[in-house]
Structure 1
Amino acid sequence: MRQRMRRLRKQGGTIVWIVLCVLLTQGLAEAQVTARVTESMLENGLKILLLEEHKASVVTVHIWYRVGARNEQPGTTGLSHLLEHMMFKGTSKVGPGQFSRTIRKNGGRDNAFTSEDYTGYFETFASDRIDLALKLEADRMRNLLLDPKEIEAEKKVVMEERRLRTEDDPVSALREAMGAAAFQAHPYRQPVIGWMTDIERLAREDLARYYDTYYVPNNAVLVAVGDFKSDELLPKIRHHFGPIPRGAQPPSVRAVEPEQRGERRLFLRKEAELPFVFMGYHVPNLKHPDNFALEVLAYILSGGKSARIYKSLVYEKQLALFAGGGYDRESIDPNLFPLYASVMPGKTAEEVEQALTAEIELVKNELIPDRELQKAKNQIEAGFLFGQDSVFNLARQLAEYEIVADWRAWEAYLPGIRAVTAADLQRVAKAYLTPDHRTVAVLIPEKIKK
């Protein structure tokens, strides 16, 4: 009787949660975020997106530059990431390390990130301090010192970061090797942090040239979200950034990855306890209409512990310690649909690879049940909408969409997800998840030296 009552309470709580999610989702969906965005552009080409959110006296300011690892040339990989580090090392007005200290003294937080497609900087704090963020970001947009001693010191920091996060991490090293094999012509083959030999040889002249080329207002997007009035904030932005001169138009990336016409396979020997399997399929990005079906398919296959791959390989077949994947949708150029699994002790990489492939073949041969499809779509939609509760996430999504496509493309996400059918999933699986479009990377563990 007690067990039955516990089940009833659990079921009742689940029902209430579902009802609340539905009501909240409907309410959020009706309040289109993009309809409230104010778009402007200064005479020097700086793109500005402002979104008022008055739920709390908080504001976040993002400056994103249209430059990342895809803009780097062979021999100078890692420039974007190293320059991100140097943006905190001082200008003629702000000393080394003073940028972040100033933000913290004013009760805020700041950080930065580099990707294949962009480099972003942000500050979040009380809305009455927004002038400080504008002043500091405008200053380092064009007044960076790039002191040679600071550069050499920071290169050592980045090299150590690469050792810890990639070279001493077998799984990260395998993912890097897989990407380098999957792309032969496109710079997506280059790691964001750069190759170690390139980082060692980067010079101040490389950084200065890169900074002068890409850190100009006409290659940047400023996004502010929070408790402000747009008509009052825009003149402040113009005051701080307007005097910065427009730069020459940065060179475009012309490389196009040719169609892969046969499986690529590699093996990496590293000190590790267990084998690991990575596979990546070439797929289109968010600019292609199939992106919505691929997004839902990725969630069904690898969206957590209840997804097909984890449930099959970890729980049912007990072949893997963990398994997952994803879809590199938000990228400027077509990218990958990766899947991976860590091999269980006593099992083989071949068994795991066969099991991963079997899950893909199952999607190709049998339609996804309506209930499973609707569950995935509901969870994707709820995650997308709940993410809008944070001013930081709102700013990040607006900036990312603007960089990789156009910020208005955000509007198409939910309608596109809702329109996906089981037939769409089967079609894109057959079209893209084929052996000829696949690169497989297998970690072969070597005995750990003591």
Structure 2
Amino acid sequence: MRRIALTLIAALLAAYPVSIAVGGGEIPGGPVDSSGLLQVPWRVDEHRLSNGMRALMLQDRRAPSIVFQVWYGVGSRDDPKGKTGVAHMLEHMMFRGTEKYGPKEFSNIVMRNGGSHNAFTSFDYTAYFERIASDRLGLVMELEADRMVNLVLKQEELTPEQKVVMEERRSRTEDSPTGALFEKLRAASYTKHAYRNPIIGWAEDIDGYSLEDLEAFYKRYYTPNNATAVIVGDFDVSEAIRLLEKHFGPIPSLPFEGRPRMTEPEQTTSRRLVVRKEAQLPYVAMAHHAPNWKHDDGPALIMLENILGGGETSRLYQRLVRKDAIALGAGADYTYVSLDPMLFYLYGQPAPGKEAIDVEKTILDEVDRLIRKGVSKEELERNLRSIEAQTIFSMDSHFYRAMQLGRAMIAGDWQLVNGYLPSLAKVTSADIVRVAKKFLRPQNRTTATLVPIPLDKKQPRPKKTKGGQTHGGSR
């Protein structure tokens, strides 16, 4: 499958030859000619029910199947103080049964009808989905509508689920060196905003949930006027609207006071922390506060992310892994579609025998080189075509397209999917240099270094505290 994907991407790139910069050097380039960009078809039908629930529908009749998703405007950023992770816990409890369908009946019904289902919680949203044959659309709508309003919460169901979530946290974070590193890095990067808390929650909070906590959270956020249905696949729009009205229409909307408004103070001094944990190799990661889609600099930050750390052809990978051979991997990560501004990461894992400080210095040296010399038009266009090819290939997936619509809707505007590639084509080399100077500056940076502890010198586990300051061996 990976070979097929790479072949398709290569074919797409070959179909659109890049321009050659005069002189072949690091010559700053202007915006890329967008006339050759492939047009991504987003022919979306919208519908709004009288109770405030929204629906986005995208037809794709290549196969007799559909993806149905219900997105709620609630995520870990909305967790009450002292109850971190409650949004994620409620996601688990949503599979524990309603008045009509008992525990496991939801799953059994979907599977008996040849479908699959799951759910996911993020900082900004919680979403539930089914993949199933087109003629079962009404069935999954009935199931989702039922648990939107009729969830039954019981202590005998909550207690074992708390243990499941604690084990999930243990495996993904506490027993994962890089998982722990990034959790503490995020907690140190934010001082006020709830993005500092892990989606899964802090361990001491998970232990303390009550049924009343979950019931209050459910009643506040699980209401049709805070939900969006997304349907992608082989279906008739008018029939889908009829089914939406039949199953979700009768659910009354509840007074919704909205989501908490949050801001993060500007970071004015660099921060640094060390995480000491059992691991084979060190790791270094840097986080910088950066704006999202609501800011004009968003598209330039996407291009900066791809140029610096977008895979094996990126500058960081080529320099640290291929040329200098001091790292096993290096890259960048930036979140464009979000409710509130997030972070721009730079990271790398030293190769055996190499030091984290050398990886950190080389990453920053590459950032400095980009600022000093700019980006040639050839490199700019090559990266745009790479993003374009990845986007087009991903469009083959019903689930991917539904995800893009849902995420954009929660962030504020599903039409973001239409303007994504054209906005990148307008980015110039000067734009990329400007945002690198503005957001990757030292005063806006928090750096976390993983220092491995040999297994035979394992330190006693300190008492857990919030904020990423001392728990798990960090400082």
TM-score when scaled to structure 2?
A: 0.88
**In the TM superposition, what is the alpha-carbon distance from 1:26 to its structure 2 partner?**
8.8
Higher mean C-alpha deviation, range 206-215 or range 388-397: 388-397
The answer to whether structure 1 residue 29 and structure 2 residue 17 are counterparts is no
**Cα distance per residue 1:320-364 (max 9 Å; x no partner):** 111122101111101100111112222212111101111111111
Judge conservation of contact 1:67–1:117 (CA < 8 Å) in 2.
yes
* Deviation of the 1:368 alpha carbon: 0.9
Q: CA deviation at 1:441?
A: 0.5
Question: 2:387 maps to what in 1?
Answer: 380
- Pick from 171, 182, 190: which aligns with 1:183? 190
For structure 1, which segment, 171-180 or 97-106, has the greater mean C-alpha deviation from structure 2 after superposition?
Answer: 97-106
Tell me which of 250, 256, 259 is aligned to 1:249: 256
Deviation at 1:421, TM superposition (A): 1.1
**Partner letter of residue 113 of structure 2?**
N
Separation (CA, whole Å) in 2 of partners of 1:14 and 1:30: 16
Q: 1:156 to 1:181 in 2, by over 3 A?
A: same
1:329 aligns with 2:357: no
Structure 1 residue 318 and structure 2 residue 289: aligned?
A: no
Match of 1:358 in 2: 365
CA distance in 1, matches of 2:373, 2:108: 57
Q: Structure 1, residues 385-419: CA drift from partner, whole Å, max 9, x if none?
A: 22222111111111110001210122111110111
**Gap change, CA 1:283 and 1:29, over 3 Å in 2:** same
The Cα offsets for residues 282-303 of structure 1, whole Å up to 9 and x where unpaired, read as: 1000111111110011011111
Tell me the distance in 2 between the aligned counterparts of 1:115 and 1:16: 34
Q: Secondary structure at the match of 1:255?
A: coil
The partner residue of 1:72 within 63, 73, 79 is 79
Bigger shift: residues 243-252 or 395-404? 243-252
Would you say the 8 A contact 2:13–2:386 is kept in 1?
no
SS at match of 1:268: strand
Q: Which moved more, 1:189-198 or 1:247-256?
A: 247-256
The code of the aligned residue for 1:343 comes to P
Distance in 1 (alpha carbons) for counterparts of 2:422 and 2:37 = 14
Return the offset for 1:381: 1.1
1:265 and 1:440 in contact (8 A); partners too: yes
CA spacing shift, 1:293–1:16, aligned 2, 3 Å: closer
Aligned pairs for 1:123-202 (under 5 A) are 123-202=130-209
- Within 2, Cα distance between the matches of 1:28 and 1:123? 32
**Contact 1:21/1:382, CA 8 A, preserved across alignment:** no
Q: Which has the higher helix share?
A: 1
User: Structure 1 residue aligned with 2:221, among 210, 214, 218?
Assistant: 214
Percent identity of equivalent pairs: 46
In structure 2, C-alpha distance between the alignment counterparts of 1:31 and 1:273, rounded to whole Å: 44
Q: Which residue of 2 aligns with 1:5?
A: none
Q: Is the Cα–Cα contact under 8 Å of residues 214 and 250 in structure 1 kept in the other structure?
A: no
Q: Retained in 1: the 8 A contact 2:68–2:131?
A: yes
Cα deviation digits, residues 209-251 of structure 1 (max 9, x gap)? 0000000000110011111111121011101001111012144
1: CA distance between counterparts of 2:128 and 2:279? 35
Q: Verify the 8 A CA contact 1:298 1:326 in the aligned structure 2.
A: yes
Alignment of 1:265-284 (within 5 A): 265-284=272-291
Q: What amino acid maps onto 2:54 in structure 1?
A: K
Report the Cα offset of residue 280 of structure 1: 0.5
Q: Which residue of 1 aligns with 2:461?
A: none
- Report the residue type matching 1:383 in the other structure: Q
Amino acid of the structure 1 residue aligned with 2:41:
Q
Query: Aligned equivalents of 2:67 and 2:433: distance in 1?
Result: 41
Q: 1:430 aligns with which of 409, 434, 437?
A: 437
C-alpha separation in 2, matches of 1:19 and 1:347: 38
State how far apart, in whole Å, the 1-side matches of 2:51 and 2:375 are.
51
User: Which residue of structure 1 aligns with residue 352 of structure 2?
Assistant: 345
The SS at the match of 1:389 is: coil
- With over 3 angstroms needed to count, the CA separation of the structure-2 counterparts of 1:446 and 1:16, relative to structure 1, is closer
User: Deviation string for 1:181-234 (max 9, x for gaps)?
Assistant: 000010000000000000000111100000000000001100111111111210
State the Cα distance separating 1:169 from its structure 2 match. 0.4
Relative distance call for 1:27 and 1:361 in structure 2 (3 A) is closer
- Does the 8 Å contact 1:48/1:221 carry over to 2? yes
Match of 1:225 among 227, 232, 247: 232
Q: Which residue of 1 aligns with 2:468?
A: none
Q: Determine the structure 2 residue equivalent to 1:9.
A: none
Q: Distance in 2 between matches of 1:27 and 1:100?
A: 46
Secondary structure in 2 matching 1:441: strand
Aligned mates of 2:16, 2:108 — CA distance in 1? 40
Equivalent in the alignment of 1:399? 406
Determine the structure 1 residue equivalent to 2:20. Answer: none
CA contact (8 A) 2:40 2:392 kept: no
Contact 2:9 2:393 in 1 (8 A): no
> Would you say the 8 A contact 2:277–2:451 is kept in 1?
yes
The number of equivalent residue pairs is 435
How far does residue 73 in structure 1 lie from its aligned partner after superposition?
A: 2.4
Which among 274, 296, 321 is matched to residue 303 of structure 2? 296
Which of 51, 55, 64 is the equivalent residue of 1:57? 64
Pair 1:85–1:422, CA change in 2 (3 A) = same
Q: Cα distance 1:274–1:157, how it changes in 2: closer, same or farther (>3 A)?
A: same
Partner in structure 1 of residue 446 of structure 2: 439
Q: Which has the higher contact order (CA 8 A, sep 6+)?
A: 2
Shift of 1:20: 5.1
The residue aligned with 2:417 is: 410
Structure 1 residues 274 and 17: CA distance shift in structure 2, 3 A: same
The CA deviation at 1:21 is 7.2
Q: Write the distance in 1 (CA, Å) between the matches of 2:158 and 2:61.
A: 41
Structure-1 separation of matches of 2:9 and 2:344: 32
1:142–1:244: 8 Å Cα contact kept in structure 2? yes
Relative distance call for 1:309 and 1:248 in structure 2 (3 A) is same
Task: Verify the 8 A CA contact 2:394 2:400 in the aligned structure 1.
Answer: yes
Q: Between 13-22 and 312-321, report the one with greater CA deviation.
A: 13-22
- The structural deviation recorded for 1:13 is 11
Matched residue SS, 2:455: coil
